[in-house]
Structure 1
């Protein structure tokens, strides 16, 4: 459809809000004018004025303007939002039909805001539809599509779905020539037909039948389509629907543009004749231009002059409409709104002056209250801060006391462990020499003992005493290593010589030394003597005197010493815990001391089961 036809379709949406069914236009206007004389309520009087303006937009656009201006003035004085919205809506339609789309958009948008404040959904829907048309013809297609889809979405939820019917027709008219929307257009028309069946005599039937004629033309039945359009236009004229008739006659020009050899000249002349009488001259500019060009080419001077004069009148009216101050009711409306705002501002100023003292007093009270609250908050915050600092100080003192107590407990535990080890060593290592001394004393009482036996016993006591002295020196050395202030200083220790000195610790069991001569360890000699003697003694106890004891030494990164002997009842798990203290076990105390000495010297000591034998070993750095 061309611009003019779509334009008339969309404007008709506003007309649906005043009359659900189609009656003869003159009859409707006569009834409304008669009702106008009977109104005593000003608001109701304004509503009738708006209805008259809406009806006249279909037949006499200047009358539509006159009633809209009058309704707007009364509604403004009465602060009647609904009446003002209707008047603004009619003014937007008037300016749209006068081809002043910017002015139409201004009035339409203000009407939309008022209808939204009133929560009048049907009128919101129709104004959205009108704004879509105004923006479309102003070249603002994205905005036009936005308003169109808002109207579509809102129309689906309206109980008065006759409005939704014309929204669907407008959608179909907008996209009728878009091949990508054929299914959407078809759906819109079918849905509109479904709604029209509820409202016999609705104007929408004209547009539905016009779409059917368009389908006939596309199917090759052009003559049938032209005949149907002429019938519909004549019927609309009889009912006083001049705008509808003009829109219908425009279809014939569209058929000609699509290739059908229709004679559109009579339809154009007829549309111009009825449009000029109804005040639609401005929107008929394309039709007048087409007629003028046609007759100018045909040398019909009379027709050429007639349509040339009409063309000149249209141009003059447009210039007059856009430049005339008394026609720019938007400016007038804004000025009146500004005056109202000044009046309201004066009232507000008077109220401010009347309540200034009270506000000042209230402000002082509020300031005093806030100051008091601030002081209370400051005092509370200070008290909390001091309490927090005291609490932190107490926590710090408590932490220091706990650390000191924990350290003392650890020292007591170490000292207690040292005491237990020392008592165990004394009980084991000094038992034998004391027994020897007792035996010697008993021999001296026995006068019958021969000299050789006595000498042998005395020699054994001497050897045991010397051995005890050595053990006592080692224990003293261990005690010194446990006390504070001990400093370990490694020295060269001949490994083979150290083992030869303690080999007698194995008693009668054979000890085989496989140690290279001259191999020196970096360690403490007395500690190593104690460790070697204790390990050989442990080997004797664990093996129960069975088999031989092999002592080996090998040099890798460290000097690794291993003592191997038979231990058939010994398990790997027992070996893993051999150097741990076990209460009541004298040997475990000695081995724990060996581990302590090895830790002091920075070495490692271990026990492993290898092929049924137990291997006691340690490793220390070599010296040299």
Structure 2
């Protein structure tokens, strides 16, 4: 249990070489601070420093910080205090309360989008859940922290996450390579940050483990002893305890040495720092050893310690103890409210005294202000009236200019539309003339006659389809058009097309409009590229559909203008104005349905994309 809790030490990115010296410096700073926000931050930093030296002091400063932060409604201070309280409760072996406070801190950090602290708290949640027996949940939190850590701009926190990963899986032989990778990566990152000296203690301890596995066991024990001694000198008592645990692990792996002195040293350090609630496994092991060797004095000493710790464990199980801190904080808040009320009462008394002396002056000034106010108000009304007239005139001119631009764009589009319609009429009419001539002469080849009839039917059907689509588009432009979205199943609409669409995925839209959009995008993808396929994905409350083809003949700039009124025809120049008109109508249909449509070129791949609200 104690080994897993080592991750608590990874909460903070700045560790000084001498903790007690840093605490003294912060105390001196606290006495000089005048700003309440800075005062709260110093209290939280003191709580953080103390958790490596004394758990009770860590708790006390966290409580003070939370009181001040609550009065100021300072969310960052509240979150940091909750974080420190979680550590204090974990050091007291109250994992249930630690999870509760860490969960509250995580909510605050997510609201502030503080990614660094989100990563740290998520990492702690993985440890607390594992200690509570929820190993699967703990592992999920750990992997979330790994994903968050590698995306941070300042990756010193990522070093802490990697160390935590190595601690979690150090004894798992199947993950030996990944643990070694994590240690080397953490060591490289820690080398870039002078404040990560504590990280290096853990990294060196892992390197000692590697020596042990290679057979250099005595050298590994010597190195661990040296690291623990130096950590204790630097005031990192918790780090020293955790490093000494490596020797106990060597003993469990078959190395013959007297491990009891190390366990006694761990317990002595834990007792000094107030970590006694975590020492129960150590005391049990030591007591059993002295029972076996029949050492009465040591049995009495550690028997008393064992009784004390187990009695405290029973108290910790009492539900009233779990809520003790909440009761304490509420009492503190009540006292603060009483004090605030007293101060406000005194201020009101002083204000009443001063009000009597100012009444005559106020009466004189009031008359003067009434005169000045009337004059100012009349001038202000005149000024506002002129300003409103100018704004109205400017808005009318701007509206007229906008309408002129819109009319010009629409006029250009209609001219192009008429040109396309005239062009599409030409082919079926020419085919009809050819068929008529063949029938009039009566001596044409039957196969040629059949081909002309088939071509005439195909071109006529295509022209009719274009007219239907244009008619629907024109109706959508009329003022009486009302859009009524309905569920549209994408997989059914793309039947017969190579498509990667989840079952049951639906969008809210107009069936006919969507059919036109789909046909146009498929035709465009086939015209401007090859190997057409369709991909649809759910994104939050909308669905994104991509029609992809490769390679493409378009440039990135041409793809950007593909659905614009002014530039669509230019973008597909050489591929036909009909396709440009189709894309412009697709853009209008998407606007009517509350969606977006655009095009991208990635490498040689063309992506025609639209997004509509999901129907759920």
Q: Normalising to structure 2: TM-score of the pair?
A: 0.52
Match of 1:93 among 87, 95, 108: 87
Q: How much has 1:257 moved relative to structure 2?
A: 0.5
Preserved CA contact (<8 Å) 1:152 1:167: yes
Identify the residue that residue 165 of structure 1 maps to in structure 2: 159
Identify the residue that residue 6 of structure 1 maps to in structure 2: 4
Identify the residue that residue 77 of structure 2 maps to in structure 1: 83
Preserved CA contact (<8 Å) 1:103 1:330: no
1:48-447 correspondence to structure 2 within 5 Å:
48-200=42-194, 202-323=197-318, 325=320, 328-329=323-324, 331-332=326-327
Q: How much has 1:316 moved relative to structure 2?
A: 2.2
Separation of aligned partners in 2, 1:305 and 1:262: 25
- The 1:24/1:15 distance shift into structure 2, 3 A limit, reads same
Q: How much has 1:184 moved relative to structure 2?
A: 1.2
Structure 2, gaps ≥5 residues long: 335-616
Preserved CA contact (<8 Å) 1:252 1:262: no
**What are the superposed Cα offsets for residues 223-242 of structure 1, whole Å, 9 maximum, x if unpaired?**
11111110000000000000
Separation of aligned partners in 1, 2:136 and 2:305: 34
Q: How much has 1:336 moved relative to structure 2?
A: 8.7
Separation of aligned partners in 2, 1:140 and 1:321: 20
1:15 and 2:9 equivalent?
A: no
**What are the superposed Cα offsets for residues 40-86 of structure 1, whole Å, 9 maximum, x if unpaired?**
11121111111111111101000001111111111111111111111
Moved more, 320-329 or 29-38: 320-329
Q: How much has 1:334 moved relative to structure 2?
A: 9.6
Identify the residue that residue 349 of structure 2 maps to in structure 1: none
**Helix, strand or coil: the match of 2:227?**
helix
1:588-599 correspondence to structure 2 within 5 Å:
none
Separation of aligned partners in 1, 2:81 and 2:323: 15
Separation of aligned partners in 2, 1:213 and 1:143: 30
Separation of aligned partners in 2, 1:254 and 1:331: 39
Q: How much has 1:120 moved relative to structure 2?
A: 0.9
Q: How much has 1:321 moved relative to structure 2?
A: 3.7
Separation of aligned partners in 2, 1:333 and 1:106: 16
Preserved CA contact (<8 Å) 2:69 2:78: yes
**What are the superposed Cα offsets for residues 227-275 of structure 1, whole Å, 9 maximum, x if unpaired?**
1110000000000000000001111110010111122111111111111
Identify the residue that residue 30 of structure 1 maps to in structure 2: 24
Identify the residue that residue 427 of structure 1 maps to in structure 2: none
Preserved CA contact (<8 Å) 1:5 1:248: no
**What are the superposed Cα offsets for residues 106-131 of structure 1, whole Å, 9 maximum, x if unpaired?**
00000000011111111111101111
Separation of aligned partners in 2, 1:25 and 1:331: 29
Separation of aligned partners in 1, 2:257 and 2:168: 23
- The 1:324/1:149 distance shift into structure 2, 3 A limit, reads closer
Separation of aligned partners in 2, 1:183 and 1:63: 40
Q: Normalising to structure 1: TM-score of the pair?
A: 0.52
Q: How much has 1:98 moved relative to structure 2?
A: 1.1
**Helix, strand or coil: the match of 1:203?**
helix
Preserved CA contact (<8 Å) 1:57 1:94: yes
Q: How much has 1:185 moved relative to structure 2?
A: 0.9
Preserved CA contact (<8 Å) 1:132 1:146: yes
Q: How much has 1:322 moved relative to structure 2?
A: 4.0
Preserved CA contact (<8 Å) 1:115 1:123: yes
- The 1:287/1:326 distance shift into structure 2, 3 A limit, reads closer
**Helix, strand or coil: the match of 1:4?**
coil
Structure 1 residue ranges, 4+ long, deviating more than 2 angstroms after superposition: 316-339
Q: How much has 1:312 moved relative to structure 2?
A: 1.4
- The 1:136/1:337 distance shift into structure 2, 3 A limit, reads farther
Separation of aligned partners in 2, 1:296 and 1:156: 50
- The 1:338/1:72 distance shift into structure 2, 3 A limit, reads closer
Separation of aligned partners in 2, 1:337 and 1:125: 31
Separation of aligned partners in 2, 1:203 and 1:259: 29
Separation of aligned partners in 2, 1:82 and 1:335: 20
Q: How much has 1:210 moved relative to structure 2?
A: 0.5
**Helix, strand or coil: the match of 2:16?**
coil
- The 1:326/1:135 distance shift into structure 2, 3 A limit, reads closer
Preserved CA contact (<8 Å) 1:15 1:55: no
Q: How much has 1:159 moved relative to structure 2?
A: 2.1
**Helix, strand or coil: the match of 1:240?**
coil
Structure whose CA Rg is larger: 1
Separation of aligned partners in 1, 2:47 and 2:329: 22
Q: How much has 1:200 moved relative to structure 2?
A: 3.2
Identify the residue that residue 403 of structure 2 maps to in structure 1: none
Separation of aligned partners in 1, 2:63 and 2:324: 8
Q: How many residues align?
A: 333
- The 1:73/1:327 distance shift into structure 2, 3 A limit, reads farther
Structure 1, gaps ≥5 residues long: 340-624
**Helix, strand or coil: the match of 1:40?**
coil
Q: How much has 1:337 moved relative to structure 2?
A: 13
Preserved CA contact (<8 Å) 1:36 1:48: yes
